[in-house]
Structure 1
Amino acid sequence: MTTITSSEDKNPQPLKTVGIVGTGAMGRGIAQLAAQSGMLVYLYDSREGAVAEAQDFIGGLWQRKLEKQSLNQAQVESYTTSLVNAVSLDGMASCDIVIEAIVEKLEAKQVLFKQLEAVIADDAVLATNTSSLSVTAIAAGCRLPERVIGFHFFNPVPVMKIVEVIPGLRTGLDCLERVEALGQAMGHYTARATDTPGFLVNHAGRAFSTEALRILGESVADPMTIDRVLVDQGGFRMGPFALLDLTGLDVSHAVIESIYHQYYEEPRFRPSPLTRPRLDAGLLGRKSGEGFYHYEAGKPVLHDEPPVPEVTPLPVWISPEDGAAHQALTALTKAAGWLIEDGSVPSDTALCLLTPLGEDATTCALRQGLDASRCMAVDMLGGLEKRRSLMATPATQSLYQDAARHLLGNDGTAVSTFNDSNGFILQRMVACIVNVGADIAQQGVAAPETIDRAVELGLGYPRGPLSMGDYYGSRHILTILDHILAATGDPRYRASPWLRRRALLNLPLTTPEQN
């Protein structure tokens, strides 16, 4: 838990003059946003000509907005004159806050802040835009560590309406309040988080990539199928492999390993052995023309989905274990005109539909005393309205696989079929996302409402992780995790105490601690 030191200043002054050191993509974005928010902005970069390039780049953006009439001439002129070349670090002397956006190396940031302390006033703030380094460690070498804070934006800065505000262990309360007010004045949601690895958003995003890579590593499905399930069935804006390709594996691999090691090899964040060889091979994603997808003219090459097989209808027996799932599948089967068997035991020719949570189709079939060669599992976690997911046992005959695909896809709804797995793709992904979010709440990294809002804005998930757990049902999420943990013995799937307690008490996952 971060300790925020108190201050005698009961009315901290607003931050109006902003210095930015480093004029790469992040520095430019912060500068553009600050200028558009009515602030005077001083720019500095150690590379000769970099500030002028940044001014030209930002000016070009404003000029295009002028041409599209989203800005007027007076606004463009005002914004342009507010971007000042500081020429040297000494030019930052009048700044109320200096934000560094330089190379992601601890020593470089510490050296820079020591240099800036000799220039700026004692009541000015030093902010770091680091995404992975400890704010406390950056502040450790400063004369006044109480005025050092994390101020982490996301790229592209003007578009991503969120900034993480991260106090270090010695950050003063007045510093925190002034920086939060600055973020709000810039029109961004300010997510206060503790100084822990990955802070809030990057921490919460670990499950999305690492569990997808684990599913791929188990040969459950190919990247395109996994992405289609997450986008169509789960409502995510982008699938995990499309996102890895967009970010670039050179960036993602480093972040995955960094957070894993910073958390002392926490199994929930375990990297995949798949990424290092791909990185060595130069399969970085869009920037290299090939990653998990192949790209032509900057666009991924997508294969068509297999057609729905034509089969003669079979009698269908639906597992009665989940009443709601049984009812939904019964309605679908009747609508298709297929015969439903109502007995407690299926006939010798029936297609058997199972609805497991966190189990593989094999275990679910054998536990119910069924013939695995005629069993197909259906993922009912997300319902049947969108893409549908099917899972076969290794023994399932092709006749029954085709029959299940025909039954579930004959009305035009997309169907994905993949190999047997301890939990379906959507179940595993959602359960891991919710579990990591619950553990972030358990650790006190941020308040529950902050966790959800920050993840929605920073990662583009359809819901924040805690609200996502409530949407799908925390009892379902707990069951999925417990079943996978029992089957694999992998502590990666151990349920967070935050999740378990609230699920058992039938409380929303967004319920904060009472003390």
Structure 2
Amino acid sequence: MDVRNVAVIGAGAMGAGIAQVAAAAGHEVSLVDAAPGAAAAAIDRLGGGLDRLVAKGRLTAEEAATVRRRLTPVGSVDELPECGLVIEAVPEDLALKRKIFADLGATQPAATILATNTSSIDVSAIAEAVIHPERVVGLHFFNPPQVMALVEVIHGEQSGAAVLEEAMSLMRAWGKTPVRCSSTPGFIVNRVARPFYGEAQRMVEAGVADPATIDWILRERGGFPMGPLELTDFIGQDVNLAVGTSVWEQTGRDERYAPTDFQRGLVEAGRLGRKSGEGVYTYAADGVLVGGEPDLTLAERLVGGPVETDPLARTLAMLVNEAADLVGRGEATAADVDIAMVLGTRYPRGPIEWGRAIGLAVVSRQIEELDRAFPGGRYRPSPALLDGTLG
């Protein structure tokens, strides 16, 4: 398959970043955006970023110029040359994506791989609008794509095996680490990560501990780069709530993914995190957190105690349980889940590996304790914890 020409639809930060990655990998790249002049402006910004890399000694001037020459703004989908791969990176709107893919299906050769960078929409639903839907896959990059190694390669119901293999090979050739997943709500990272945020919010709601203490425990005792509450402030409470709500809606409002009143309240009050100056925490004008001192005596008392009041054990048990469910349903392999969570979220260990280290039987008992303490379905144990699915 000839993938000399690549196109990216959408010239926002993600689309432009993907375009740069493709150009750096040796492809001629066409960048399209619906807003007049947006694609050209994005390429100019990328040029400035390449110049900064030259100044830091990470690229030669010739390498930067070569990458820049490979990037071409194009006015519309209809004006694209024949491509081996087209990646859509527009806002998360199914109708918009379906319109773009219908146009691509009608104008690009049948052998062209058509990929969506969606983080939350069913790939199969997007592919319904396309002639030859077997060529449609998800290529979910992580921000910024120039830096983040992980790409989730998502297969819809009609995605062809050969197309998926070609997509995996291309991502490796681009220097990325691809993992495969079916088109399940949230894919791997956004699904498995839900308990990391949700358990902390529920423990604050219940008065188990203050946010700073919970964050300290997850950072200092768990090895996570950021605590869950400070991380949602960094991401944006509104953004994190929207992703969680999308997974909840797509799973038929499964109680396991139900958004918390705690986070809804923050968003309704305009406390969106660092970007608004106030979220779970308060921030100075320069973005530095104000206060937020943990109660270390309380932290020492909680860790190692009952699982329902131990922020680390409770969070880990739910992460392992969620990952086990994904693997048990056959939506991703255990190895791919672990790789995805380490590369996509910087967890110190993959959840399946962590569960094996703790002991899958121990985790199963912890989940059963949580289910008894908080009945209703959120803490139902995954059958894959004990049925041999995880080895």
TM-score, normalization: structure 1? 0.73
- The 1:487–1:305 alpha-carbon spacing in structure 2 relative to 1, beyond 3 Å, is closer
Residue of 96, 120, 130 corresponding to 1:108 = 96
Task: Give how far 1:476 is off.
Answer: 2.2
Matched, 1:74 2:74: no
Residue of 124, 136, 149 corresponding to 1:161 = 149
Contact 1:18–1:34 (CA<8 Å) still a contact in 2? Answer: yes
Residue-by-residue CA offset, 1:204-258 (whole Å, 9 max, x unaligned)? 1111111111111111111111111000000111111111111111111111111
- Residue type at the aligned position of 1:88: S
- The 1:307–1:260 alpha-carbon spacing in structure 2 relative to 1, beyond 3 Å, is closer
Aligned position for 1:298: 287
Aligned position for 1:460: 346
Aligned position for 1:372: none
Distance between the aligned counterparts of 2:93 and 2:78, measured in 1? Answer: 22
Distance between the aligned counterparts of 1:465 and 1:477, measured in 2? Answer: 11
Aligned position for 1:205: 193
- The 1:174–1:305 alpha-carbon spacing in structure 2 relative to 1, beyond 3 Å, is closer
- The 1:484–1:35 alpha-carbon spacing in structure 2 relative to 1, beyond 3 Å, is same
- The 1:61–1:179 alpha-carbon spacing in structure 2 relative to 1, beyond 3 Å, is same
- Residue type at the aligned position of 1:22: G
Aligned position for 1:441: 327
Task: Give how far 1:75 is off.
Answer: 0.3
Residue of 64, 83, 86 corresponding to 2:52 = 64
Residue of 475, 481, 492 corresponding to 2:378 = 492
Task: Give how far 1:264 is off.
Answer: 1.2
Aligned position for 2:164: 176
Contact 1:66–1:72 (CA<8 Å) still a contact in 2? Answer: yes
- The 1:286–1:144 alpha-carbon spacing in structure 2 relative to 1, beyond 3 Å, is same
- Residue type at the aligned position of 1:282: G
| Structure 2: gaps (5+ residues) | none
Residue of 77, 87, 99 corresponding to 1:99 = 87
Matched, 1:389 2:377: no
Aligned position for 1:473: 359
Distance between the aligned counterparts of 1:14 and 1:421, measured in 2? Answer: 54
Aligned position for 1:131: 119
Matched, 1:424 2:310: yes
- The 1:304–1:215 alpha-carbon spacing in structure 2 relative to 1, beyond 3 Å, is closer
Task: Give how far 1:88 is off.
Answer: 2.3
- Residue type at the aligned position of 2:301: L
Task: Give how far 1:307 is off.
Answer: 8.1
Contact 1:14–1:181 (CA<8 Å) still a contact in 2? Answer: no
Distance between the aligned counterparts of 1:306 and 1:432, measured in 2? Answer: 24
Task: Give how far 1:417 is off.
Answer: 11
Secondary structure at the counterpart of residue 378 of structure 2: helix
Secondary structure at the counterpart of residue 225 of structure 1: helix
Secondary structure at the counterpart of residue 7 of structure 2: strand
Contact 2:213–2:295 (CA<8 Å) still a contact in 1? Answer: no
Q: How does 1:94-493 map to 2 (within 5 A)?
A: 94-296=82-284, 297-305=286-294, 389-391=300-302, 422-493=308-379
- Residue type at the aligned position of 1:427: A
- The 1:230–1:14 alpha-carbon spacing in structure 2 relative to 1, beyond 3 Å, is farther
Distance between the aligned counterparts of 1:465 and 1:417, measured in 2? Answer: 19
Task: Give how far 1:74 is off.
Answer: 1.3
- Residue type at the aligned position of 2:289: P
Secondary structure at the counterpart of residue 432 of structure 1: helix
Task: Give how far 1:176 is off.
Answer: 1.1
Contact 2:33–2:39 (CA<8 Å) still a contact in 1? Answer: yes
Residue of 64, 73, 77 corresponding to 1:85 = 73
Secondary structure at the counterpart of residue 501 of structure 1: coil
What count of residue pairs does the alignment treat as equivalent?
A: 390
Task: Give how far 1:185 is off.
Answer: 0.9
Question: CA RMSD of the aligned region, Å?
Answer: 1.9
Aligned position for 2:29: 41
- The 1:451–1:306 alpha-carbon spacing in structure 2 relative to 1, beyond 3 Å, is closer
Higher helix share: 2
**Greater C-alpha radius of gyration:** 1
- Residue type at the aligned position of 1:301: V
Aligned position for 1:52: 40
Contact 1:434–1:466 (CA<8 Å) still a contact in 2? Answer: yes
Distance between the aligned counterparts of 1:431 and 1:389, measured in 2? Answer: 19
Contact 1:45–1:51 (CA<8 Å) still a contact in 2? Answer: yes
Contact 1:21–1:100 (CA<8 Å) still a contact in 2? Answer: yes
Task: Give how far 1:65 is off.
Answer: 0.8
Distance between the aligned counterparts of 1:160 and 1:52, measured in 2? Answer: 24
| Structure 1: gaps (5+ residues) | 1-12, 309-377, 379-387, 392-415, 503-508
Contact 1:92–1:98 (CA<8 Å) still a contact in 2? Answer: no
